[in-house]
């Protein structure tokens, strides 16, 4: 069993927060083990909870269109959420639910080691950039620990709000360029001598 499969198994059996009581199915996430890009949404909605798969409703349809606009299919990227079980009536996830669930995301990232983490909406953004406002930082790549985090608006919010829709479309269009830059930064390793010099 791969580490991602092990995490998925644990998520499906998880009772670490109260959201486990209302779920039909937990939604661990899906995509290749070696994906260059991980997309992190908010939480499963009705259809996701029914099917146990992320982004399969209206927001998922729009996410697929956004991916297609940069030549990607959903099976070429890893797609997950900051919270793996559906909150009742699709309410916002609570801080204690995010705190209980986010270690699964951390383990997924450690297993995949993506070049780029694209956060969809403010809740997944806040995990990486806790003090940021999405209206200030969307479309700007940030180095956060070992990851390059690229926050964008949530496709569900953007779907019915023309100004957000334009913003998310433009931010997606820059993903190939941001990914190339993230790869270039990751490949640069300071030579051993430079490392030593920095110590003295």
* Contacted by 115, from ligand SF4, ligand URA, none: CB < 5 to 8 Å by type: none
Total Cβ atoms within 10 A of residue 23: 18
Q: Which of 83, 54, 100, 77 is nearest to 150 (CA)?
A: 77
**Separation of alpha carbons 111 and 95, rounded Å:** 25
Residue 37 binds ligand SF4 (CB under 6 A) = no
* Contacted by 111, from ligand SF4, ligand URA, none: CB < 5 to 8 Å by type: none
From 59-67, 68-76, 94-102, 167-175, span contacting ligand SF4 (CB under 6 A): 94-102
Residue 98 binds ligand SF4 (CB under 6 A) = no
The site that binds ligand SF4 (CB under 6 A) totals a number of residues, namely 14
Residue 30 binds ligand SF4 (CB under 6 A) = no
CA dihedral 160, 164, 166, 170 (to 10 degrees): -130
* Contacted by 48, from ligand URA, ligand SF4, none: CB < 5 to 8 Å by type: ligand URA
Q: Which CB, 44 or 139, lies closer to ligand URA? A: 44
Q: Using CB under 6 A, list all residues that contact ligand URA.
A: 41-45, 48, 54-55, 59-60, 81, 156
Kindly tell me which residue out of 4, 7, 8, 11 binds ligand SF4, with binding defined by CB under 6 A.
11
Residue 132 binds ligand SF4 (CB under 6 A) = no
Tokens for 181, please give them: 């830059």
What are the residues facing 144 on neighbouring strands?
Answer: 147
Q: Which of 152, 150, 139, 147 is nearest to 185 (CA)?
A: 147
Residue pair 41/28 in contact (Cβ under 8 Å)? The answer is no
Tell me whether strands 142-144 and 116-120 are parallel, antiparallel or unpaired.
unpaired
Binding site for ligand SF4 (CB under 6 A): 11, 14-17, 19-20, 26, 83-85, 97, 100-101
């Amino acid at each position: 069993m791969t580490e991602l499969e092990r995490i998925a198994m644990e998520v499906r059996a998880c009772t670490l927060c109260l959201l486990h009581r209302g779920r039909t199915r937990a939604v661990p996430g899906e995509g290749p083990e070696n994906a260059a890009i991980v997309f992190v949404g908010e939480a499963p909605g009705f259809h996701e909870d029914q099917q146990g798969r992320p982004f399969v409703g209206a927001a998922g349809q729009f996410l697929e269109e956004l991916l297609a606009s940069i030549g990607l299919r959903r099976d070429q990227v890893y797609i997950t959420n900051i919270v793996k079980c559906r909150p009742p009536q699709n309410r916002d996830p609570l801080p204690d639910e995010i705190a209980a669930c986010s270690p699964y995301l951390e383990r997924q990232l450690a297993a995949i080691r993506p070049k780029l983490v694209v956060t969809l909406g403010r809740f997944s953004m806040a995990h990486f950039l806790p003090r940021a406002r999405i209206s200030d930082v969307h479309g700007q790549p940030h180095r956060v620990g070992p990851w390059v985090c690229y926050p964008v608006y949530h496709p569900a919010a953007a779907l019915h709000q023309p100004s957000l829709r334009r913003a998310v479309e433009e931010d997606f269009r820059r993903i190939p360029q941001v990914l190339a830059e993230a790869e270039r930064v990751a490949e640069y390793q300071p030579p051993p001598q430079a490392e030593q010099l920095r110590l003295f």
